[in-house]
Amino acid sequence: MTTMLFDSEKIQSLRTQEPQHPWRRRTPKFTWSVALAVVIPALIAGYFLFATAIPDPIVIIIIYLPLQLLAAGVAAAVSKGKNGVADAFIYVLAIGGSIFSLVILISLIVTLFINGLKAVSVSFLTQNNFYISPSTSLEYGGVAHAVLGTLLIVFISMLVAIPVGIATAIYVTEVRGRAVPYVRFFVQAMSGVPSVVAGLFILTVLILTGAMGPSAFAGGLAYAILMLPTVARTAEEVLRLIPEDLRTGALALGSTRARTVLQVVLPAAKTGIVTAIVLGMARVVGETAPLVLVTGTSDATVYNPFNSPIAALPTYIFGNVAQPFPDAVTRAWGAALVLIIIVAILFVIARIIGRGKVK
C-alpha cells in the first residue's frame, strides 16, 4: 500500500481548482430540442387564442397542454432516448400544475383586492351594522362586530381542539396503548365529516335541547369538531419524525415517560406542532355552514360568547352577497378581504412563534 504525497504548489492548485459539474452540461442538440418543444406549442396555442373565437381555457387545456406533452416527449426522445420521455411528461405536468395553481391564486387575490378595497375604510373596520340596512351606502356600517365574533369563535375552538388534538397525538405516538387503532380510526373518520354535519350535531345536542342558545360558544364547539382531526393527525406525523434516540437518551438518564414527552419530545417538535395548529385554524376559519346553524347573526357588537347570537365574517359575507343591493355585495367583498388579511396575520404570528429556538 502506497501513500501519495503532494507538495505545497500542488495543494494550492487543487484548492483553487474550479468545481466541475458534468451533469449541468447541455449539448446543442438538447438545447435546440428543448427550445423548439417550448416555442412551437406556444405559437400554435397563440394562434388559436388570438385568431379564433375559441375560449381561452379550452385552448389551453384541449390544445396547448397535449401539444406541449407531445413536443416534450419528442424532444426527450431525440436528445435522451426513450428513457427521457417519461421524465419529460412529469416535468411538463409538474410545471404546468404549478403555474396553473399560481395563476389561480394570483387571480383570486387580485380580484379580492380590486373588489374588496372599494368597501374597506376606517369606518368599515370600526363600525357595526346596527343602525343600517343592506341598501345603506358604504360610508356607514362595517365589519367590526363580525371580526370580533370570528376571533371569539376561533379562539374557543382552539381552546377545545388543540389540547385534545395534541393529547391524542401523544397517546398514539408516545403512550401506544391498546386503543391506538381505534383512536386513529375515529380521528381519520372525523376528518371526513362535512362541516354542516358538525353544525347539525351541535344544533341537535345543545341548542334544540335547550342546553344553550345560538352563541359564539356553540360555534366554537362546531369548529372544534372540524379542527380536532387536522391538529391530531398533523401533530401525530410531526411527533413520529422525532428521533427515537432522544427518547431513549432521556429515559436512560432516569427521566420518566411524562417528563420525556414534556421536556424533550414536545420542544423538539415545536415548529411542527405550531404548523398543525395553523392548519387547524385554516381548516375552520372560513367555514360558513356550522355558523349559520349554531351562531345565528347579529348586527350589533356582542362581547359575551355564551348567551346571544353573534355575527362572524363568514355569515356576514353569506348574508350580504345574496342581497340585491350593489353596496351590500361590495361589503361582502370587503369582509372577504378582511378575512384573508386576518388569516395571513395569524399565519405570520404562528410562523414567528414556531421559529423560536428550543431552549
Work out the mean pLDDT of the chain and round it to a whole number: 85
Q: Show Cβ contacts of residue 18 under 8 Å, excluding neighbours closer than 6 positions.
A: none
The average pLDDT across 14-34 equals: 68
Kindly state whether residues 167 and 296 are assigned to the same domain.
yes
Residue 278 and residue 343 in one domain: yes
| Residue-range definition of the domain harbouring residue 69 | 29-116
**For 17-38, b where at least 16 C-beta lie within 10 A, e where not — what string?**
eeeeeeeeeeeeebeebbeebe
**196 and 69, same structural domain?**
no
Nearest Cα to Cα of residue 125 among 98, 144, 97:
144
189 near 256, Cβ under 8 Å?
no
Does some domain include residue 131?
Answer: no
pLDDT score recorded for residue 359: 46
User: CA-to-CA distance for 270 and 353, rounded, in angstroms?
Assistant: 9
Q: Are residues 160 and 302 in the same domain?
A: yes
The answer to whether position 13 is within a domain reads no
Assigned domain for 359 exists: no
Question: Cα dist. 218→157, 224, 313 in Å?
Answer: 9, 10, 16
pTM recorded for the entire structure: 0.78
Q: DSSP assignment of 266-307, as one string?
A: HHHTHHHHHHHHHHHHHHHTT--HHHHHHT---SS----SSS
Domain-terminating residue out of 116, 132, 159:
116
Same domain, 46 and 148: no
70 CB burial (10 A radius; 0-12, 13-18, 19+): middle
CA 267 – CA 275 distance, rounded (Å): 14
Last residue in a domain, options 116, 135, 163: 116
pLDDT at residue 77 is higher than 80: yes
Can you tell me the distance from the alpha carbon of 178 to that of 181, in angstroms, rounded to the nearest whole number? 7
Asked if the structure places residue 187 within a domain, the reply is yes
CA distance 144 to 196: 26
Claim to verify: residue 214 and residue 87 sit in the same structural domain: no
Residues 277 and 341 in one domain: yes
Residues 155, 261 within the same domain: yes
Question: Does residue 159 share a domain with residue 54?
Answer: no
Q: Long-range contacts: 180-188, Cβ < 8 Å, 24+? A: 187/228, 187/229, 187/232, 187/233, 188/229, 188/233
Band of residue 258 on the pLDDT scale cut at 50, 70, 90: confident
Taking Cα atoms as reference points, which of 173, 226, 232, 151 lies closest to residue 195?
Answer: 226
> Residue 5 has what pLDDT?
62
Q: Are residues 330 and 274 in the same domain?
A: yes
Q: Which residues lie closer than 8 Å to 242 by C-beta, 6 or more apart?
A: 265, 268, 269
Cell readout for 203 is 344544533
Dist. CA 236–CA 320, nearest whole Å: 40
In a domain, 16, yes or no: no
Q: Find, among 133, 236, 142, the residue nearest to 184 by Cα.
A: 236
Answer yes or no: is pLDDT of 232 > 50.
yes
**Is 62 a domain residue?**
yes
Report pLDDT for 358: 44
Q: How do residues 81-122 score in pLDDT, each as one tens digit?
A: 777 788 888 888 888 888 888 988 899 899 999 999 988 888
Average pLDDT for 264-276 = 87
Residue 221 in domain: yes
Q: What is the pLDDT of residues 123-175, one digit of tens each?
A: 888 888 888 888 888 888 889 999 999 999 999 999 999 999 999 999 999 88
How many domains is the chain partitioned into structurally? 2
Structure confidence at residue 24 as a pLDDT band (50, 70, 90): low
Identify whether the C-beta of residue 326 lies closer than 8 Å to the C-beta of residue 235.
Answer: no
What grid cell was written down for 148? Answer: 370580533
Q: Please, which residues have CB within 8 angstroms of residue 216's CB and are 6 or more apart in sequence?
A: 149, 152, 153, 156, 295, 302, 305, 306, 310
Asked if residue 135 belongs to a domain, the reply is no
Cell 341598501 sits at which residue? 135
Residues 112 and 152 in one domain: no
Helix H, strand E, coil C: the string for 62-99 is: HHHHHHHHHHHHHHHHHHCCCHHHHHHHHHHHHHHHHH
Q: Are residues 110 and 163 in the same domain?
A: no
Helix (H) or strand (E) holding 223: helix 216-240
